[in-house]
Amino acid sequence: MSEPKALFGAVIFAKDLQRLARFYEQVIGLSRQQEAADHVLLAGSGFELVIHAIPARIAADIVITTPPERRSETPIKLFFNIASLQVARESAQRLGGDIVADEQGWLIRGARVCDGLDPEGNVLQLRQHLA
């Protein structure tokens, strides 16, 4: 069953389309709705995330290190509400990303908040709402 059309969304450009799609699918809990050679559409809770392949001629000049170098000079950081920071952290590390330890995070509006990186170095923020 497919998700209803989203009201909000974002696009992330990726050197490794499938790797980045798996990361957001498994760490954030989004589900694949559509897939083509140049993109994967993930969705959940009224939000769509399009992972779009960087054209090969441009991607050839991009180096992704292990661990990924933080791309902190971009003016946008996406945040996602998740059920468990610990589960997300374990999944992120297994998939080539990272989520900082709870002690490095902070509390905001009833949620524990931690920043992290996806496998290509894009900075993201995860929020686990506390009971």
Tens of pLDDT, residues 53-101: 999 999 999 999 999 999 988 899 999 999 999 999 999 999 999 999 9
Question: Do the domain assignments include residue 2?
Answer: no
At residue 4, the pLDDT reads: 61
Residue 102 lies in a domain: yes
Work out how many domains the chain is built from and give that number.
Answer: 1
End-to-end Cα spacing for the chain: 30
pLDDT of 48 > 80? The answer is yes
Q: How many Cβ atoms sit within 10 Å of the Cβ of residue 66? A: 7
Question: How much is the mean pLDDT over the chain?
Answer: 94
Domain with 13, as residue range(s), is: 8-56+66-129
Q: How far is CA 55 from CA 33, 62, 80, in A?
A: 22, 11, 27
* pLDDT of res. 131: 82
Look at residues 55, 28, 43, 128 and name the one whose alpha carbon lies nearest to residue 85.
128
CATH of the domain at 48: 3.10.180.10
- Rounded to an integer, the average pLDDT of 6-27 is 96
Q: Is 3 inside a domain boundary? A: no
